[in-house]
Every structure is written in structure tokens, then in C-alpha cells.
Amino acid sequence: MRYCGRDFTLAEIDRIRALIATSPPPSRYRLSQDVCASLAWQRLDGGLKDMSCCVALLRMEKDGLITLPPPQCAKPVSYRAHPLIDTLVREPVILPVVDLARLAVDVVVQRHDSQLWNAYIAHYRYLGHKPLPGAQLRYVVRAEGTIIALLGFGAAAWKTHPRDASIGWSAARRQRNLYLIVNNARFLILPWIRHKNLASRILAIVSRRLADDWQARYGYRPVLLETFVEKPRFAGTCYRAANWQYLGDTQGRGKLDIFHRHDQPIKSLWIYQLTRDFRKQLRNC
């Protein structure tokens, strides 16, 4: 049985049931860590794939294979407001001066920057705040010490026809090598910032450094970036200007559309190659 790109044997399902049956029953978070440790389900850097495991356990329960302990929180909180932080994300009285040659781009590491990143996304992104899935990097862009833009990169789409057709890989290769693709899931320039070429400049800076930053955090180098741009809300002009390549449009289905309703927004798919032979690596690794 396959969940989240991993095959589970009947013996492993029984082992998961045994972990659930321990007394006192573990929390769902602790259970996901125990399952990963028991089954040696790890990332390339040796860390546990507990986020993927959480999703797999929920799907196993939905399929009737296991019964999870009751959740300790009725509903996960995607964004938690911090009054002192929220006061910092308001539109400034004096707009910052943007010098394209002196932009400071930093990976979010500190808790304070993480809270600021979440608050800006929650207040000014048109879709609000949702946690990024899986392995991820978040960036804060500053001009003269003032935050002007934010970016987030996370797990690639499980499958999408324009990308998969361009790569030419099999389903088995996709399942094995998808971790080498990183999705630019968030890109926000704060609404009071107006500067020609700013978006493409930021994308160019981050695209060139992301592989090194990813290597430093996760111990391997991705070979391709992707992003989805909602149509007709955005045209993707800044991605084109930053040398990203347009591959085609989605069908508007979404990952849970098993009945082919096509009720999601159509999005254009763009990629940025981090290595020239990315197709060969994704097909042959």
C-alpha cells in the first residue's frame, strides 16, 4: 500500500497499530516521529519525514487501516496572531527607498523573522497564510533595513502534466526523484512598494542562491524550481523577466479532484533550471 510516495507492507501496518496501542496512547505528533524512527523513514539529511508521515497516517485512517488517537487540538492553527508582531506589519508612513543594487535577502532562521514572515503573508497575501508543506525555505527581502518582500519555497506538486511531459519521466522516477524539484509557493511584494523591475530582480537573486541554501539546510541540491501563477489574476511577467520558462497551464482540478470537476483556478506553470542537465538527472537518478 502506497502513501506519500512510500510503500507500506502489512507487517509495517501492524507495527504502526502496535505503536498506536501503547499506553498511554501517544499524541499524533509523537506517533508520526515513532513511526518514522521504527520504519527508518528519513530525509537525505537523516531527519525524520514526520510531516509526510502525518499525512500518510491520516490517509491510512481514512482507508480504514488504522484508528488514530484523538487529536489534541480540534483543528490545526495555520496562523497565530502576535499583537506586538502585528503592529510591525502595518503600512509605513514613510515608504522605504528601494535601491536594486543593495537589496538584502536573508533566509528565515530566527523566531522573530518567522513570526514577521507569517504576519506579512497573513495580512497582505490574497490567499492568506497556510503552512508550507515538507522541506522548505523562507526568505525576507529588505531595503535599507525595511522588509519589502517575502518568498517561500516548499515541496513540489505531486504531479502536473506540463512539467512531467517536459521532463519525460516515468511515474516510478517521479516518485523517486520529486524531492529534487522545489516549488516557489509564496512570493509577496508588499502592496505599498512600487519599483520597476523589483520582482524580477528579487527572483533572480533568490533563484541563483537557493540551491546553495537548500544544500546547507537539507544536505542535497535541487535541480529545478517550479511555480504556479493563477490566471487571469497574474500574467507571470516577472518570472519571464527573471529567465523562468513557461511550460503550460493546469487543468483546474487540484490534487483532491477525483471526480474531474475542474473547479480550481487555472494556473500557468513556470520552471527555472538549476542545472543544465536537470531532465537527465530527474529521469536517471
User: Which residue from 271, 269, 185 is spatially nearest to 223, judged by alpha carbons?
Assistant: 271
**Residue 45 has what pLDDT?**
74
Do 201 and 264 share a domain, yes or no? yes
**Residue 257 maps to a domain:** yes
Do 194 and 118 share a domain, yes or no? yes
Q: Are 221 and 264 in contact (CB under 8 A)?
A: no
If one counts the domains in the chain, the total is 2
Residue 136 has a CB neighbour count (10 Å cut-off) of: 20
Q: Please report, in tens digits, the pLDDT of each residue of the chain (285 residues total).
A: 888 878 999 999 999 999 999 989 899 989 999 999 999 998 877 888 888 898 899 999 999 999 999 887 666 667 788 888 988 999 888 888 899 999 999 999 999 999 999 999 999 998 888 888 778 999 999 999 999 999 999 999 989 999 999 999 999 899 889 999 999 999 999 999 989 999 999 999 999 999 999 999 999 999 999 999 998 888 899 999 999 999 999 987 654 444 445 567 899 999 999 999 999 999 986
**Residue 104 maps to a domain:** yes
- Residue 46: give the domain boundaries: 2-62
User: Which residue from 158, 163, 197 is spatially nearest to 179, judged by alpha carbons?
Assistant: 158
**Residue 77 has what pLDDT?**
67
**Residue 203 maps to a domain:** yes
Do 14 and 135 share a domain, yes or no? no
Do 42 and 168 share a domain, yes or no? no
| C-alpha cell read off for 122 | 497573513
Do 276 and 141 share a domain, yes or no? yes
How far, in Å, CA of 188 to CA of 190, rounded?
6
Do 148 and 254 share a domain, yes or no? yes
**Residue 282 burial class via C-beta count within 10 angstroms: exposed 0-12, middle 13-18, buried 19 and up:** buried
**Residue 258 has what pLDDT?**
45
